[in-house]
C-alpha cells in the first residue's frame, strides 16, 4: 500500500510517501508564522493550504508520480481560524498555538472558578495554549456567520468536503469530555460556544472523504491526527509509561496511560492519544513552548550562526558556569502554566562567554523536559524508565547527553526525522484496511546518563529555583 502522509506543522509542511512501510520520498514547504509584540502569533491560512499542496505534490512527484492508495493528515493541534463553511474561504488569519492574547479571558474564567471544573471535565489546563480560549477571543473579532475551528477541520474540508476533527485533536480544545470523547455541553457553555457549530469527532483511522488535490484520480483520506500524538504512535509508545519527547518549535513530552483516561495532579494535562475502531488510548502531555524557537532566538541575537553551533559552541564548555536560561519566550507551559511569563537569562558575569549562554539554553530546555518527565512519573506512580526522542534538535549530541544526564534514564533517538508523518501514515494505512507495519524500529542511538543522581538533582533544583523566581517577578 502506498500512503501520502502530510505533516502540517508550525513552520513548515512536510510530506512523505510511504510504500510497504518504507519512506520512498519526502518534501517540505515553508509556512512560518509571524509574532507580534502583544503576544499574537499568526499565519496566513492560504500559505498553510499552499504549503500542503506543494509538499504533497512534490513528494508524489519524487516518488515517481504514482497515485497513492490513501492519504493521512497531521496538524498543529491548537491553531484556529475563522472561515466560511459554505465556500471554505478563510475569514481570519490562523491564530497559532503559541498565541497568548486570550490570557486575560483565561484569568477571568479562573477567577470565576472555571479552572478546576474544566480540568475535571477535559483533563486540560485553562490556558491560552488550548483551543477554546482562542475561539472565544477570535469570535469577538470576526463576522458572526463565521465558523471557527482548528486548522485540521478547514484543511480536511478543502481536501474532501468533510466537517470533522479527529479524537486526539478534539481532546486539545478544552471542549471535550475526556472520559467519553464527546463534546461537553458544560464546557461549551462556559466559553459561549454553540455545541452544534462544532465538527463531528471521528476516529484517527477511517474513511473521511475523497480528494483530487494531488491527482486527477480521487484518493481517500483515511487518517488524521494531531502531530504529537501521531509521533507517539510512530514511536511505539503504546503501553502505560512509555514516553517520547519531540524537540521542534517547542518540546512536547507525551506519556501513554494506555486505556485509562488520566487527569494529572502534577501540572501535566490528560488527553486522547488516539482512537481506533476497537479501542481508545489516552496520554499525559507536557510542553516547553520555545525550544527550536529559542535556538532561532539565539541566532537572531547573534549568539550562534546556526543550530550546528549548539554543539560547536555549547560542547566547548563543561557547563553553563552558573548561567541559567528559562525558556519562557512565549510564556511557560507545564508544569508552571504561566502564560504571561517571560524568558530569563541570569547568572551572567565578566567571565561569561557565548559558549556559556548557548550551554545554558541547552540546559534550560533539558531541565524543563525533565521536570515534565518527573511529573508524568508521579502521575503514573513510577518513574519513566526511558525517553524516546525525535525532532530536529536531536541532531545535537550535547542536548541529548544533557537530557539523559538530568533525566537519569536512557534517551533513545528515533531513527527518522519524520515521526509525525509516519504516525499519521500508519493511521491512514489502518483506515484504508491495511495493517500498521511501522512499529518495528530500532533507535539510531541510545544515550546513557553520565552523572550521578545527586548532581542531576542539584542542577535541576537550581534551575527550578530560577524559574520560580522568574514567575514571582512576573507576578
Q: Give the pLDDT mean for 158-184.
A: 98
E-assigned strands of 162-268?
A: 164-166, 176-177, 182-183, 200-202, 205-211, 219-226, 243-247, 251-258
Q: What is the mean pLDDT of the chain?
A: 95
Task: Give the mean model confidence (pLDDT) for residues 405-430.
Answer: 96
Measured at the CA of 14, the angle between CA 102 and CA 64, to 5 degrees, comes to 155
pLDDT tier, 137 (very low <50, low <70, confident <90, very high otherwise): very high
Tell me what pLDDT residue 203 has.
98
β-pair partners for 7: 14, 74
User: What's the average model confidence in pLDDT over 377-396?
Assistant: 96
Cell, residue 391: 525532532
What are the residue ranges of helices labelled H in 42-130? 45-62, 103-111, 114-122
pLDDT at 473: 56
Q: What average pLDDT does the segment 222-250 reach?
A: 96
Share of the chain above pLDDT 70, in %: 99
Query: Cβ contacts of residue 313 below 8 Å, gap of 6+?
Result: 303, 304, 354, 355, 358, 359
CA 272, 274, 275, 280 dihedral sign is negative
Q: Are strands 94-95 and 41-43 parallel, antiparallel or unpaired?
A: antiparallel
Residue 438, pLDDT > 60, answer: no
pLDDT value at position 475?
Answer: 47
What is the reported pLDDT for 20?
86
User: If residue 457 lies in a helix (H) or strand (E), which one and from where to where?
Assistant: helix 453-474
| Residue 435's pLDDT band (cuts 50, 70, 90) | confident
Q: pLDDT tens for residues 181-195?
A: 999 999 999 999 999
Cell (9 digits) for 366: 533539558
Rounded to 5 degrees, what are φ and ψ at 148? -120, 120
CB 475 within 8 A of CB 463: no
Maximum CA pair distance of the chain?
A: 66
The model's pLDDT over 296-323, given as tens digits with 9 standing for 90+, comes to 999 999 999 999 999 999 999 999 999 9
**Residues 6 or more apart from 468 whose CB is under 8 A from it?**
none
**pLDDT of 331 higher than 90:** no
Reading the block at residue 49, the C-alpha cell is 493550504
Sign of the CA dihedral running 404, 409, 410, 413: negative
The three cell numbers locating residue 142: 470576526
- The H helix count followed by the E strand count for the chain is 14, 24
CB atoms within 10 A of CB 453: 10
Banded model confidence at residue 93, pLDDT cuts 50, 70, 90: very high
Per-residue pLDDT, 440: 75
Residue 392 burial by Cβ neighbours in a 10 Å radius (0-12, 13-18, 19+): middle
Q: Where are the alpha helices (DSSP H) in 191-322?
A: 227-234, 292-300, 309-312
Which pLDDT band, with edges at 50, 70 and 90, does 439 fall under?
A: low
Q: What structural domains does the chain harbor?
A: 2-235 (3.30.420.40), 286-413+445-474 (3.30.420.40)
Residue 61 confidence (pLDDT): 97
Task: Answer yes or no: is pLDDT of 366 > 60.
Answer: yes
- What is the pTM assigned to this prediction? 0.94
Amino acid at each position: 500500500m502506498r500512503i501520502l502522509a502530510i505533516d502540517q506543522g508550525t513552520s513548515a509542511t512536510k510530506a512523505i510517501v510511504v510504500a510497504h512501510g518504507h519512506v520512498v520520498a519526502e518534501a517540505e514547504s515553508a509556512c512560518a508564522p509571524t509574532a507580534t509584540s502583544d503576544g499574537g502569533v499568526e499565519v496566513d491560512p492560504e500559505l498553510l493550504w499552499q504549503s500542503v499542496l506543494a509538499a504533497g505534490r512534490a513528494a508524489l512527484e519524487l516518488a515517481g508520480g504514482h497515485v497513492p492508495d490513501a492519504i493521512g493528515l497531521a496538524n498543529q493541534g491548537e491553531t484556529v481560524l475563522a472561515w466560511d463553511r459554505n465556500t471554505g474561504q478563510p475569514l481570519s488569519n490562523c491564530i497559532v498555538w503559541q498565541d497568548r492574547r486570550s490570557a486575560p479571558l483565561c484569568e477571568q474564567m479562573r477567577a470565576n472558578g472555571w479552572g478546576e471544573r474544566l480540568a475535571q471535565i477535559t483533563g486540560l489546563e485553562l490556558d491560552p495554549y488550548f483551543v477554546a480560549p482562542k475561539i472565544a477571543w477570535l469570535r469577538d473579532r470576526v463576522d458572526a456567520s463565521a465558523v471557527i475551528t482548528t486548522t485540521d477541520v478547514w484543511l480536511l474540508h478543502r481536501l474532501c468536503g468533510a466537517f470533522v476533527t479527529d479524537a486526539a485533536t478534539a481532546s486539545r480544545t478544552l471542549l471535550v469530555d475526556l472520559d467519553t470523547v464527546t463534546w461537553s455541553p458544560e464546557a461549551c457553555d462556559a466559553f459561549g460556544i454553540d455545541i452544534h457549530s462544532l465538527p463531528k469527532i471521528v476516529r484517527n483511522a477511517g474513511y473521511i472523504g475523497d480528494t483530487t488535490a494531488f491527482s486527477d484520480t480521487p484518493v481517500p483520506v483515511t487518517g488524521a491526527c494531531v502531530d504529537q500524538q501521531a509521533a507517539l504512535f510512530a514511536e511505539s509508545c503504546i503501553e502505560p509509561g512509555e514516553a517520547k519527547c519531540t524537540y521542534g518549535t517547542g518540546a512536547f513530552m507525551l506519556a501513554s496511560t494506555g486505556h485509562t483516561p488520566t487527569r494529572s495532579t502534577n501540572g501535566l494535562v490528560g488527553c486522547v492519544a488516539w482512537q481506533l475502531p476497537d479501542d481508545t488510548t489516552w496520554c499525559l502531555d507536557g510542553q516547553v513552548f520555545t525550544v527550536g524557537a529559542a535556538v532561532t532566538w539565539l541566532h537572531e541575537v547573534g549568539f550562534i550562526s546556526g543550530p550546528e553551533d549548539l554543539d560547536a559552541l555549547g560542547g566547548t564548555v563543561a557547563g553553563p558556569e552558573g548561567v541559567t536560561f528559562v525558556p519562557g519566550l512565549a510564556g511557560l507551559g507545564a508544569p508552571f502554566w504561566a502564560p504571561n511569563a517571560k524568558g530569563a537569562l541570569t547568572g551572567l558575569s565578566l567571565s561569561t562567554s557565548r559558549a556559556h549562554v548557548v550551554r545554558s539554553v541547552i540546559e534550560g530546555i533539558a531541565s524543563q523536559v525533565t521536570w515534565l518527565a518527573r511529573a508524568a512519573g508521579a502521575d503514573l506512580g513510577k518513574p519513566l524508565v526511558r525517553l524516546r526522542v525525535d525532532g530536529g534538535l536531536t541532531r545535537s549530541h550535547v542536548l541529548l547527553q544533557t537530557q539523559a544526564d538530568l533525566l537519569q534514564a536512557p534517551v533513545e533517538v528515533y531513527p527518522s526525522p519524520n515521526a509525525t508523518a509516519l504516525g499519521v501514515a500508519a493511521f491512514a494505512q489502518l483506515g484504508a484496511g491495511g495493517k500498521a507495519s511501522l512499529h518495528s524500529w530500532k533507535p539510531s542511538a541510545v544515550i546513557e546518563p553520565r552523572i550521578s543522581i545527586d548532581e542531576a538533582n542539584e542542577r535541576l533544583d537550581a534551575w527550578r529555583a530560577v524559574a520560580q523566581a522568574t514567575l514571582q517577578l512576573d507576578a
